Structure formats: C-alpha cells, structure tokens
Amino acid sequence: MPYSLLKENIKKYVEISNEELDTICSFFKPQIIKKKEFLLTQGDIYKFEGFVIEGCFRVFTIDKKGNENVLYFASKDWWVMDIDSFMNQKPSHLNIQALEDSKVFLIHRTNKLALYESLPIVEKLFRVMSQKALVAWQRRLIRNNTYSARERYLHFTSTYPNIATKLTDKQIASYLGITHEFLSKIKKQA
C-alpha cells in the first residue's frame, strides 16, 4: 500500500519515528470515490477523516436559496474532513463530492480517538495541523475583505495552479464568492 504520500505529509508537521508512522498508517484504509460521488452529504454524521491520494474533492455548503458555496478544494496531498461533525458527532452542514475519480485514505473516528490515546504524537500532529490551517483561514478571510474579485481570482489561480486547472469556472467562482457570470467578465478583461 503506497502510504509514502501520507507519511511525507505527516512529517511536514511533526518529527516522528517510522514505527509511529506505521502505526498511524495502519488505521488508514484506501477507498475509491468515483466522479460526482459524495464522501459526505449534509445532514449525515461524519465518521471518517480523509487524506487525498488521487483526484480532487470540493467541500461546499448549500444555503436556503439553494446556492452552493465552496469552502475549499482538496486534491492530492490534502486532508478532507468536517471537523465539527467529526468531533461532536452532529449532523454536518457540509457536502464533500469527488470532482473526478479519486482515491482517499480514510480513518474511522473510533480509530482516531484510540490513536489520540495511545500515541501522544498524534495529538501534536493534529494540534500543529489545525493551527496551521487556522492561520490559512485567517489569511483567506483578510484577502476576501481586502482584495477585489479580480485580485482574488488571480491569487487563487497563481497559488493553486494544479487545482485550478481541474476546476470549472463555476466552481472557482463559487469558491471566490462571486457569480460565474462575473468571473467570465473578469477573465475577458484580464
């Protein structure tokens, strides 16, 4: 099983032994998600945390008017989860859908909780991971408040060129918080 991608990812966050890595990886099971299939549908209680090996996912909400709003995209080497639903075992507000045939490693909640108990480094791993993610979300919020739609678009495509090419303009617009019609006009004059 090619756990190397996951192992390298974890090593970016913490210093960790090979034994510990093997233990952690042993709880992650591969799963194929076909294009357009859902890893999570809102209302469900999320029981798995995922790490993307291949393909791409979109994580999005649907508001009362039925508008979809993309929270983030997760492609190879990204984590994908609904922390709120996973932690508190309450119905999710999020939807997670494969944009192409994808492969993820999933860890069941029970196993993750056990790992927290048995392997202290796992607490640190997810503490550091969460803190880094927090910083990224704060930055994104500041960008949303200070950049124009055009600037946000250019920032996104230059920061995540690999992901951007996999996406339709509709999906990118939804991530940027604008209509796809307006994105089309932005691109024309870019």
Distance, CA of 29 to CA of 11 (rounded, Å):
19
Closer of 4 and 144 to DNA (Cβ): 144
State how far the alpha carbon of 163 is from the alpha carbons of 12, 82, 85, 169, in Å.
20, 20, 26, 12
Residue 54 lies near DNA (rule: CB under 7 A): no
State the DSSP code for 90.
Answer: -
Residue 145 lies near its own copies (rule: CB under 8 A): yes
Identify the three-state secondary structure at position 116: helix
Residues 76-115 that bind its own copies (CB under 8 A): 83-84, 87
Residue 82, number of CB atoms within 10 A of its CB: 24
> Which one, of 139, 134, 184, lies nearest residue 159 by Cα?
139
Closer of 43 and 177 to its own copies (Cβ): 177
Select the residue interacting with its own copies from 36, 43, 135, 181 (CB under 8 A).
Answer: 135
Residue 149 lies near DNA (rule: CB under 7 A): yes
Residues that bind its own copies (CB under 8 A): 61, 63, 67, 69, 71, 83-84, 87, 116, 120, 123-124, 126-128, 130-135, 137-138, 140-142, 144-146, 177
